[in-house]
Amino acid sequence: MIENFRRLYGSADGLRIWRAPGRVNLIGEHTDYNLGFVLPLALDLAAYVAAAPSRDGRLHIRSEHRAELFECPAGEIAALEPRRQWTDYPLGVARELVRAGFPIQPANLLIRSTVPEGSGLSSSAALEVSSALAFLNGRTLEPLVLARLCQRAEREFAGMPCGIMDQYIAVYGRAGSAVEIDCRSLEHRLVALPAGIAFLAVNTMVKHALAASAYQERVAECAAAVERIRTRLPRVESLRDVSPAQLASVAPLLSGVAARRARHVVTENARVAAFVDASARGDLGRMGRLLVESHHSLRDDYQVSCPELDFLVDAALAVDGVFGARMTGGGFGGCTVTMLRPGAIPQFGERIARGYARRFHVTPAIYPCRPSAGAGEVKNCETIPSAV
Ligand code: GLA
Residue 148's DSSP bridge partners are: none
How far is residue 173's CA from residue 128's CA, in Å, rounded to a whole number?
15
Q: Is it the case that residue 175 has pLDDT exceeding 90?
A: yes
CA of 111 from ligand 1 middle (Å) equals 23
Helix (H, G, I), strand (E, B) or coil at 176: coil
Q: How far is CA 280 from CA 41, 267, 277, in A?
A: 16, 20, 5
Give residue limits of the domains in the chain.
2-193+372-377, 198-368
Residues near 351 by beta carbon (within 8 Å), at least 6 away in sequence:
315, 318, 319
> With bands split at pLDDT 50, 70 and 90, how would you rate the model's confidence at 386?
confident
Q: Would you say the C-alpha torsion 91, 97, 100, 101 has a positive or negative sign? A: negative
Average pLDDT over the chain, rounded to whole?
A: 97
- Answer whether 355 contacts ligand 1 (Cβ < 6 A): no
What are the C-alpha distances in Å from 166 to residues 42, 51, 368? 9, 23, 18
- Mean pLDDT calculated for residue range 34-50: 98
Q: Which residues pair with 200 in a beta bridge?
A: 338, 368
Strands 107-113 and 376-377: unpaired
Going through 115-250 in order, the beta strands assigned E by DSSP cover 177-182, 187-192, 198-207
* Atom of ligand 1 minimally distant from the CA of 125: 8
Establish whether residue 241 lines the binding site of ligand 1, counting it when its CB lies within 6 angstroms of any ligand atom. no
Contact by Cβ (8 Å): 150, 88? no
Q: Is the pTM of this model over 0.85?
A: yes
* pLDDT at residue 381 in the model: 76
pLDDT digit string, tens, across residues 311-327: 999 999 999 999 999 99
Q: Are 333 and 118 in contact (CB under 8 A)?
A: yes
Q: For residue range 210-225, what is the model confidence (pLDDT) as tens digits?
A: 889 999 999 999 999 9
Q: Are 320 and 314 in contact (CB under 8 A)?
A: no
Q: Whose CA is nearest to atom 2 of ligand 1?
A: 162
* Cβ 33 under 6 angstroms from ligand 1: yes
299 touches ligand 1 (CB under 6 Å) = no
The string of pLDDT tens digits covering residues 348-359 is: 999 999 999 999
- Cα–Cα distance measured from residue 88 to residue 80, given in angstroms and rounded to the nearest whole number: 10
DSSP string for residues in 223-248: HHHHHHHHTT-TT--SGGG--HHHHH
Q: What are the residues whose beta carbons fall under 8 Å from the beta carbon of 150, sequence distance 6 or more?
A: 93, 96, 125, 128, 129, 132, 167, 170, 171
Sign of CA dihedral 283, 287, 289, 293: positive
How far apart (Å, rounded) are the C-alpha atoms in residues 110 and 47? Answer: 11
Nearest to 157 by CA among 74, 87, 98: 87
Identify the bridge partners of residue 189 per DSSP, sorted by sequence position.
180
User: Does domain 198-368 bear CATH number 3.30.450.40?
Assistant: no
Give the phi and the psi of residue 288 in degrees, each rounded to 5: -60, -45
Give yes or no: 166 in active site: yes
What's the rounded Cα separation, in Å, for the pair 212 and 330? 9
- What is the pLDDT at residue 382? 84
For residues 335 and 121, the answer to whether their CB atoms sit within 8 Å is yes
Which of 162, 183, 217, 271 has most ligand 1 atoms within 8 Å of its beta carbon, as the pocket-test mutant?
162
Quote the ligand 1 centre to 343 CA distance (angstroms): 31
128 CB within 6 A, ligand 1: no
Give the number of the atom of ligand 1 that is nearest the alpha carbon of residue 162. 9
Residue 167 scores a pLDDT above 80: yes
pLDDT average, residue stretch 104-124: 96
Does the CB atom of residue 126 touch ligand 1 within 6 A? no
Q: From the CA of 161, how far away is ligand 1's center (Å)?
A: 9
Please, what's the largest Cα pairwise distance for the chain?
A: 67
Indicate which residue's Cα is closest to atom 9 of ligand 1.
163
Task: From the CA of 154, give the closest atom in ligand 1.
Answer: 8
Distance 40 CA to ligand 1 centre (A): 11
- Choose the catalytic residue: 32, 44, 88, 166: 166
CB of 375 within 8 A of CB of 381? no
Coil/strand/helix, residue 272: helix
DSSP label at residue 334: E
Which atom of ligand 1 is the closest one to the Cα of 33?
10
For residue 386, the tally of other CB atoms under 10 A from its CB is 9
Right CATH for 2-193+372-377 from 3.30.300.30, 3.40.50.1000, 3.30.230.10, 3.30.450.40:
3.30.230.10
pLDDT of residue 388: 62
Rounded CA gap, 322 and 205, in Å? Answer: 22
Torsion of Cα atoms, 367 then 373 then 374 then 376, to 10° = -120
pLDDT tens-digit readout, 48-76 = 999 999 999 999 999 999 988 899 999 99
